[in-house]
Structure 1
Amino acid sequence: MPLYKTITPNSQTTVKIWKITETYQDLMESVTLKPESLERVLGMKSNIHQRGFLSVRHLLMAFGYQDSDLFYDANGKPHLSDGKHISITHSFQFSAVVVSDGCVGIDIEKQREKIRVIAHKFIEYEFEYLNKLETNYVNKLTAIWCVKESLYKLFATPGLSFKDHCLVIPFGVDTDETVAWIDYKEKKYRYQIRFLEFEGFTCAYVVA
């Protein structure tokens, strides 16, 4: 069972990260899927996406849940049948789930040079403190993306823009947390964000 890491930010919150080393067949054999989930995974054209989807179901099992305990609302936000809050992410060979009594968001992304090309699409304020010549520039861009994606998942509000409504304050490479804001419709919301790096990936998560 390749449960890669378990993090407990507080007594009401747990993050579990899975390293996907199994084949699609191995992952499929050991889970029970409701009909709509089975239809969804069989319809995926990418083996990576299939394995990511199934690894999340294994993470649910690690929390004591089944696929039938998970459902999605009209905005695509996941929920659990017992009322606890959940957020889900997967990227290439890693997936993660956070479960909490409070609202949560999580994201994992692979650190890739191509993020330089799309940075202008999700960054505005942060360019004021970023330095393109820094050796860790790609890592910082990836961290900012993960922070904003985790905020987006937590806030779950149509029309929220990474670039226009989400702000990440300056942070150092030697820290594992920062502060971020959502400035939306004349209201401001402050969040403490935690993140970590491993094997060329970045993960950020937020608990309200």
Structure 2
Amino acid sequence: MPLHAITALPGGAHLGLWHLTEAPAALWLQLADAPAYVLLLPARADGLRQAQWLAGRVLVQQLLAATATPASPLRNDDTGRPFLAGPGRPPAVSLSHSGEWVAALLAPPGTAVGIDVEIVRDKAQRIGPKFLNQHEIACLPNIHLANSDPCAASIALFSLLWSAKETLYKLAGRRGIIFRENLLLDLPAGPWPVPGRLSARLSLATGISRHQICYLRPAAGYVLTYCYQLASS
């Protein structure tokens, strides 16, 4: 069973990582209440996408068991955001998958959560001006990642920044977000260690909130970011 890790985080949150090696058929066998999920499977989810979708639900199932939380069915709201449809106030949850890795964040009820895992590739660099604002782009020459290959370091940096904004977008949990205007990253000069933290702000009509995005590399060629804001904080 490729459950890679379940890590307890401050405030009662838990991070789960799944290294995907199974075909969909093997994952269906691990999923409790599989018949109910047949009806929820996205119509275009076949092959790898179906395996990723199923592994995410098996991973959440594992997180609930590891935290002695009653099992709850995982659903998606009309924006596509996952939620646990259990009685009372079930935990908050966020999911992400890319390539061979699936990640989930489980947190106490009422917590704003976001998680994203990405393959490190040049796509984020190519679309950089679409999700980074002018101030963020101006900060890039002063940032260095621990990599002897400047090209590879640049690709890793853009992948990390894209992932960070995806995480912040999920944490915001609303429509109409403009990545360059509403999701703001504070990019300090100097080397960035891995793992680390990145300061960020959500700038919405209701005001500005500050957040700390955690980042790490679950495996070579991947980057993962996550963030959560407890209801009481």
TM-score (norm. length: structure 2) = 0.81
Q: Hey, what's the Cα distance between the residues in 1 that align with 2:57 and 2:206? A: 38
Which segment drifts farther, 37-46 or 103-112?
37-46
Could you report, residue by residue, the CA deviation over 1:4-55 in whole angstroms, capped at 9, with x for unpaired residues? 2322221410000100011222112222346563134373354111010110
Residue 128 (1) aligns with residue 142 (2): no
Contact 2:28/2:34 (<8 A) preserved: no
Contact 1:60/1:67 (<8 A) preserved: no
Instruction: Give the corresponding residue for 1:184.
Output: 204
Aligned residues: 208
Contact 1:180/1:190 (<8 A) preserved: yes
Residue 74 (1) aligns with residue 74 (2): no
Q: In the alignment, residue 56 of structure 1 is paired with which amino acid?
A: G
Could you report, residue by residue, the CA deviation over 1:73-99 in whole angstroms, capped at 9, with x for unpaired residues? 233222222421100101111001100
Q: Hey, what's the Cα distance between the residues in 2 that align with 1:34 and 1:26? A: 12
Instruction: Give the corresponding residue for 1:96.
Output: 103
In structure 2, which of residues 164, 171, 196 is the aligned counterpart of residue 154 of structure 1? 171
Could you report, residue by residue, the CA deviation over 1:117-144 in whole angstroms, capped at 9, with x for unpaired residues? 1111111131011139944111111111
Shift of 1:166: 0.7
Instruction: Give the corresponding residue for 2:192.
Output: 173
TM-score (norm. length: structure 1) = 0.90
Q: In the alignment, residue 152 of structure 1 is paired with which amino acid?
A: Y
Q: Hey, what's the Cα distance between the residues in 1 that align with 2:203 and 2:44? A: 36
Contact 1:196/1:202 (<8 A) preserved: yes
In structure 2, which of residues 202, 208, 214 is the aligned counterpart of residue 194 of structure 1? 214
Give the secondary structure class of the aligned counterpart of 1:63: helix
Contact 1:33/1:68 (<8 A) preserved: no
Give the secondary structure class of the aligned counterpart of 1:97: strand
Shift of 1:57: 1.6
- Please give the residue correspondences for 1:29-40 in structure 2 after superposition, counting only pairs within 5 Å: 29-33=29-33, 37-40=37-40
Q: In the alignment, residue 205 of structure 1 is paired with which amino acid?
A: Y
Residue 203 (1) aligns with residue 208 (2): no
Contact 1:130/1:137 (<8 A) preserved: no
For structure 1, the 5+ residue unaligned runs are none
Contact 1:18/1:95 (<8 A) preserved: yes
Distance 1:23 1:150, change over 3 A: same
Distance 1:35 1:28, change over 3 A: closer
Alpha-carbon RMSD across the aligned residues, in angstroms, is: 2.3
Q: Hey, what's the Cα distance between the residues in 2 that align with 1:21 and 1:156? A: 30
Residue 109 (1) aligns with residue 109 (2): no
Contact 2:24/2:51 (<8 A) preserved: yes
Q: Hey, what's the Cα distance between the residues in 2 that align with 1:40 and 1:47? A: 16
Q: In the alignment, residue 78 of structure 1 is paired with which amino acid?
A: P
Instruction: Give the corresponding residue for 2:146.
Output: none
Contact 2:57/2:74 (<8 A) preserved: no
